[in-house]
Amino acid sequence: MLTRRDVLIGALATGAAMHLRTGFAKASQPATPVNFDVPAGACDCHTHIHGDPERFPFFPGRVYTPETALPEEMAALHRALRLQRVVIVTPSVYGTDNSATLWGMKARESELDAMGREGVCGIRLNLSTGGTNDPALGRQRLQRAIERVKGRNWHVQMNTNLAMVSATKDLVAASPVPVVFDHFANAREEFGVQQPGFADLVELVRSGKAYVKISVTAGPRADYAPFAPLARMLIAANPERILWGTNWPHPNSSSGRKPTELTPLFQVDDGLVLNLLPVWVPDAGIRKKILVDNPARLYAF
C-alpha cells in the first residue's frame, strides 16, 4: 500500500468551479505483463486524478472534460506495473483548484507551506494544453513560478513545446530551483532528434539544469519505435536527469470536442509502454537511476 510519504503531489496553474456530471468509465489498466525486474522503490512520475465532478468541479475555462480516474484505479495500475511510488500532477481541467489532487487534505493553492507539509513539492505550468505559445508570456510565467517557489526546495514543471524550451533556455539554465519538462517536452517523435529545439533540450539535460520526463503522451498506437532515438539521446546526455511516467489515465485534450463535452480517456496498455524502458535502456543500473534514484532526489522520497 502507498504511504503518504510515497505519494508526491504536483500543483498546477489556472481557475474555479462548475458542477457537471460525467460518466464513470474505467480508466485503462495494463494488458501486457511487465517483462523485466522493476527495482524496489520505482516511481511513476506523471499521473492524474479525475474525481467525481460533483465533488471536484472542473474549471470553466478548461479545453476538455475527461472521464473519471480514481485513486483505487491508480493503485491497481501500480500493482500491475510493480511500482511503489507515484507523482500526482494536477491536470489543467481543475485550473488552480488542487482539491482533487490533495483529496481530503486541507490546503488551498495560496497556502504553499501547508501544501508542502501535505507532500506538494512543485508548481506545474501547463502552457501546452492552454495553447500558450507566446515566448514573452512563457518567460514571464516561468520567471514568476521560479520566484514563487524559490527557497522552498520545490521545483517548476513545464508542459510545453520545444520552441518554448529554446525561448526559455537561459532562464532554465539560471534557475535556482530544478525545472522539469513533461513528455519529452512534447517533441514530435516522427521528426527525430534533428527537429528544432531538441538540441536545446538535450543541452539543458546534459548540463544538469533540467529534468525531462520520458513519458509517452499519445493514445493507443501500434508502433512506439520512433520514440527510441529521442529517449536514447536524452538518456545518454545525462541519465541523472531523466524521469519516467505513464501519463495515466491518458486524457485526450485535443479531441476536437466541445470543452464541456465528455471526452473518453485513451485506452493505453501501460505494461507494454513500461516494457519499452529496457529496450531504450539495456543497463539495469541506469534504469534504477531513472525509476528510483532520480525521483527520490527530486521529490525527496
DSSP 136-172: HHHHHHHHHHHHHHTTTT-EEEEE--HHHHHHHHHHH
Give the integer Cα–Cα distance in Å for 156 and 9: 13
CA proximity to 101, closest of 62, 132, 74: 74
Q: What is the pLDDT of residue 7?
A: 38
Give the integer Cα–Cα distance in Å for 120 and 117: 7
Q: How far apart are the first and last CA of the chain?
A: 15
Q: What is the pLDDT of residue 177?
A: 95
Q: What is the pLDDT of residue 126?
A: 80
Q: What is the pLDDT of residue 25?
A: 57
Residue 197 carries which DSSP code? T
211 phi/psi in degrees, rounded to 5: -100, 155
- Mean pLDDT of residues grouped by 10 in the chain (301 residues)? 39 29 67 96 92 90 90 90 90 87 47 70 80 85 93 90 96 96 93 97 97 82 87 98 94 84 90 95 97 95 80
Q: What is the pTM of this model?
A: 0.81
